[in-house]
Amino acid sequence: MTMVKDTPNKSGSGIVDIERRSSLKAIGGTLGLIAGGSLSIGSVAGENDPEPGISVRDATKVAQQIVKKASQKEAYRGFTEATVKTPELYYSLTGRRSDTDVVPSVYVFPVVDGNDHVGHVTTGAQEKMPPVVEYGTDPAPHLETEQTLSQDGLSPSSEREYLFQGPLSFGISAIDETTGEEYFVNLVSRLTQKLEDTPKINPSTDHTEGWNTLTNPDKADLSDVEPLNSGSITDVPNWTDTGYSNWPGCTPIAAAMCIGYHESFPNRTDIIDGLNDEMNTNPNGRTWPHNMPSGIEGYDSSYSASNNYTGRPAAAKGGVDSNNPPFVNTLGDKEAGKTDVVSDEVSPSDWDVLVGHSETVVGYEEEGSWSGTDLYLDTHNTWGSTRTVLVGDYWDTYMITTVEP
């Protein structure tokens, strides 16, 4: 399989694309992961990697509460009779001492109903990570390992396999057998980036009080927490790439759902194809941020769109409240890719890194937490499934694109 490099950008993101729809070979013996199974906790850590501050037992208590609460939503009815299985521990790059320093970051739990994998739940694995990070109706990312990697010349790192670099970015570290360089390979999108250039996670808020509350049987659990504020949009299409021989890209699909919501008789294929062309999405499905608003407006001039970095929560909530579904994007390192921002909108020159993933926002909940206010976004993830994502201090490299007719 050939590695296809994009045009180098000013921030030197070192992005390499694996063709998502290409035939991929199994990784083999290093991981030894079987469908429905899980590696033992700690198997991803190198000898000198730090231990997680949150125990598997406490994380499991929170994961069980998430499943119970999520099952109250229509999109998560499959969680009603479900349970969580043994989680996998993911690490995060921090960049504190070097570009490849890691800390234990999150646990990812498979959610099963009998023998069926009906979703996954991600909790924090240290006190500086929020107890509830994200959850969704897709299987746990690490269950896709044997179907993901394997580009000729890349092999899994033997020291730390699983990496979490934000709630839209679950991956595995791999080594180029020829050059010795390390790469981050996304377990869902199959896109590859040099490990040293991968966005970093540097949480700053201490969530110890929240952890203590949620793991204390004498205190309220998540099912008893009412949102301070919420909003949702019904009837937003939940589209994916079915029917395409090549992957058209998550950003055109996410934007197509935003537009399709407003159309009386939307033609999914025509909208996705049109946006793919107007956004100049590359053959591997990657889109430059500055091409997103212009691509939407170029496809249909009756729509206006903008990328929002500062004021992101307000942009997400405002779009939902006005029945104009926006979409959320994960990007590269904000300091490397962004120049000075003087308004709530990010101009094309302000961010020069390829979008890692995009999802359509269809709802939100603001919940009072023990350290402030948490904002969760419900999304259609461009693979036909639903995800609920916490946006907060632990994840700084995301952007909201608003779309208005």
Domains and CATH numbers, the chain: 4-224 (no CATH), 229-404 (3.90.70)
pLDDT at 348 over 60: no
pLDDT at 369: 59
Q: Is 219 exposed, middle or buried (0-12, 13-18, 19+ CB in 10 A)?
A: exposed
pLDDT at 256: 98
pLDDT at 296 over 80: yes
For residues 87-97, give the mean pLDDT. Answer: 85
How sure is the predictor about 190, in pLDDT bands with cuts at 50, 70 and 90? confident
How sure is the predictor about 200, in pLDDT bands with cuts at 50, 70 and 90? confident
pLDDT at 26: 29
pLDDT at 343: 45
Q: How far apart are CA 379 and CA 360, in angstroms?
A: 5
pLDDT at 187: 87
pLDDT at 339 over 60: no
How sure is the predictor about 373, in pLDDT bands with cuts at 50, 70 and 90? low
pLDDT at 14: 47
Name which of 277, 133, 144 is nearest 211 in CA terms.
Answer: 133
**Helix (H/G/I), strand (E/B), else coil: 7:** coil
Higher pLDDT, 23 or 172: 172
pLDDT at 340 over 70: no
For residues 266-283, give the mean pLDDT. Answer: 94
- Compute CA distances 286 → 52, 122, 289, whole Å: 34, 26, 10
Higher pLDDT, 105 or 96: 105
pLDDT at 374: 83
In this structure, of 72-86, 234-248, 250-264, the range with the lowest mean pLDDT score is 234-248
Higher pLDDT, 227 or 333: 227
pLDDT at 159: 61
pLDDT at 37 over 90: no
- Compute CA distances 34 → 142, 146, 147, 271, 348, whole Å: 10, 8, 11, 38, 44
- Amino acid identity at 253: I
279-305 b/e (C-beta count within 10 Å ≥ 16 → b): bebbebbbbbbbbbbebbbbbeeebeb
pLDDT at 45 over 90: no
pLDDT at 271: 96
In this structure, of 42-46, 211-215, 305-309, the range with the lowest mean pLDDT score is 42-46
How sure is the predictor about 254, in pLDDT bands with cuts at 50, 70 and 90? very high
CB 101 within 8 A of CB 48: no
pLDDT at 2: 30
In this structure, of 180-189, 197-206, 302-311, the range with the lowest mean pLDDT score is 197-206
Output phi, psi for 399, to 5 deg: -140, 145
Query: Could you tell me the pTM of the whole model?
Result: 0.85
How sure is the predictor about 100, in pLDDT bands with cuts at 50, 70 and 90? low
pLDDT at 367: 76
CB 231 within 8 A of CB 363: yes
pLDDT at 371: 47
For residues 376-394, give the mean pLDDT. Answer: 94
